[in-house]
Amino acid sequence: MNLARFPRRNYLQGRSAIELMPRFTAALGGATIYIKRDDILGFAGGGNKLRKLEFVVADALAQGADTLVTGGAVQSNHCRLTLAAAKKEGLQCRLILEERVPGSYKPEASGNNFLFGLLGVEKTRVVKGGTNMLEEMQKEADELAAIGRKGYVIPVGASNPLGALGYVACAEELLSQSFEMQTSFDHVVAASGSSGTHTGLVVGLYGNNSNIPVTGINVSRPKEAQEELVYGMVQKTAALAGVKSEIPRSAVTCFADYVGPGYSLPTPGMIEAVKLLARTEGILLDPVYTGKAMAGLIDLVRKGYFKKGEKVLFIHTGGSQALFAYLDTFRD
Ligand SMILES: *Cc1c(COP(=O)(O)O)cnc(C)c1O
């Protein structure tokens, strides 16, 4: 793969660290856990969306856009980071917020919602759960066109093949770090949501013949639905990245056992995971993605799916800003 041929903005400060988690590993008593710190990338709090936005915003600029239009849930990290990238590029940004849990939108809420205002969003529009988000975003772009401006629509999570290249690059980055550390990982684990992160990791690790399996932990969909979503995106992203060999369906594995009652709704496992990592390693997870993904990792270590002696690399995709919208969930 030659990712250098794609236009890209520079939103990272070099490579994100890979750190061994000795106290967390000891608390679990099984496989050895490492974390790749994509939670402290770049700017405005960091997180996985910045890797995708490097490619997607470069395309927006190439097309002469003056406004980024995107959408997400009411506490969307993706919306925060797209808005921050817009500001960094001197662009405007409009957001469509999907109220996936009825009644969950609160204009005065903290967390990412607070940051939308602080970062200077031009407009936010709240829509009901289940709304066709692409259509709503296109309406904004049409409205902008009618007044002589140029909007660029970024899909939810920046999860299109171009955005997924950010995680192909991350896979290549972690392989080179692994080589330098003289540490070979047996598994890579990440939250699987709008799919771009999971997709990019699969394409990058498979496309480089690393033989490192990726385990996706679902945050919303059932197992089959998520695996199909990711696999569809894997095929398109592999074609874009120039991977010559066919990536088999078996390269996409998701666990749906940690979603609980639904997207963004707390689970006991998520609360345990957030507190355990905070209290053993001083690292903050988030309630919606990495907390549930880590709950999955913890359970899979305890069950022996990840075995003692194996090295498991967890991709910390960010999101701790949302903790401040969940204060009551975490009080002891
Ligand atoms: C968006 C997000 C994810 C999920 O990544 P996808 O590429 O959408 O699957 C995971 N963690 C955090 C913190 C996120 O904001």
| Amino acid code (one letter) for 139 | K
Substitution candidate for ligand 1 out of 49, 201, 315 with most atoms within 8 A of CB: 49
Written as six digits, the tokens of 114 are 């607070």
Looking at residue 260, its pLDDT comes to 98
Domain check: are 24 and 72 in the same one? Answer: no
Looking at residue 327, its pLDDT comes to 96
Nearest CA to 10 among 67, 57, 78, 48?
A: 57
Looking at residue 67, its pLDDT comes to 98
Substitution candidate for ligand 1 out of 194, 214, 230, 237 with most atoms within 8 A of CB: 194
| Total of domains in the chain | 2
Is 76's C-beta closer than 6 angstroms to any atom of ligand 1?
Answer: no
Among the options 16, 76, 194, 264, which is catalytic? 76
Domain check: are 173 and 272 in the same one? Answer: yes
What digits encode the pLDDT tens for the residues 301-324?
A: 999 999 999 999 999 999 999 999
| Amino acid code (one letter) for 117 | G
Is 113's C-beta closer than 6 angstroms to any atom of ligand 1?
Answer: no
What digits encode the pLDDT tens for the residues 228-287?
A: 999 999 999 999 999 999 999 999 999 999 999 999 999 999 999 999 999 999 999 999
Is 245 tagged catalytic? Answer: no
Enter the pTM of the model.
0.98
CA–CA gap between residue 247 and residue 89 (Å, rounded): 36
Domain check: are 143 and 218 in the same one? Answer: no
Count of other CB atoms within 10 angstroms of residue 103: 6
Domain check: are 36 and 121 in the same one? Answer: no
Looking at residue 292, its pLDDT comes to 98
- How many whole angstroms from its chain centre is CA 16? 14
Is 80's C-beta closer than 6 angstroms to any atom of ligand 1?
Answer: no
Is 48's C-beta closer than 6 angstroms to any atom of ligand 1?
Answer: yes
| Residue where one domain finishes, among candidates 158, 193, 218 | 158
Domain check: are 61 and 103 in the same one? Answer: yes
| Residue where one domain finishes, among candidates 158, 192, 213 | 158
Nearest CA to 295 among 326, 328, 256?
A: 256
Domain check: are 141 and 167 in the same one? Answer: no
Helix axis angle for 268-281 and 290-302, nearest 10°, is: 90
Domain residues for the domain of 109 are 49-158
Domain check: are 60 and 141 in the same one? Answer: yes
Token pair 């033989």 is at which residue?
211
Domain check: are 83 and 207 in the same one? Answer: no
Rounded distance from Cα 147 to ligand 1 centre (Å) = 33
Nearest CA to 40 among 80, 9, 12, 72?
A: 12
Domain check: are 288 and 171 in the same one? Answer: yes
Written as six digits, the tokens of 258 are 């940690």
Rounded distance from Cα 197 to ligand 1 centre (Å) = 7
| Residue where one domain finishes, among candidates 106, 124, 158 | 158
Is 112's C-beta closer than 6 angstroms to any atom of ligand 1?
Answer: no
Q: For the chain, list residues with pLDDT below 70.
A: none
Rounded distance from Cα 38 to ligand 1 centre (Å) = 11
Looking at residue 233, its pLDDT comes to 98
For CA atoms 307, 311, 313, 314, the dihedral sign is positive
Domain check: are 21 and 123 in the same one? Answer: no
| Amino acid code (one letter) for 212 | I
Strand-pair partners of 258: none
Written as six digits, the tokens of 274 are 């957030």
Domain check: are 226 and 313 in the same one? Answer: yes
Is 290's C-beta closer than 6 angstroms to any atom of ligand 1?
Answer: yes
Domain check: are 259 and 309 in the same one? Answer: yes
CATH code where residue 203 lies: 3.40.50.1100
Looking at residue 96, its pLDDT comes to 98
Token pair 């009080």 is at which residue?
331
- How many whole angstroms from its chain centre is CA 267? 19
Q: What phi and psi, each to the nearest 5 degrees, are found at residue 252?
A: -110, 110
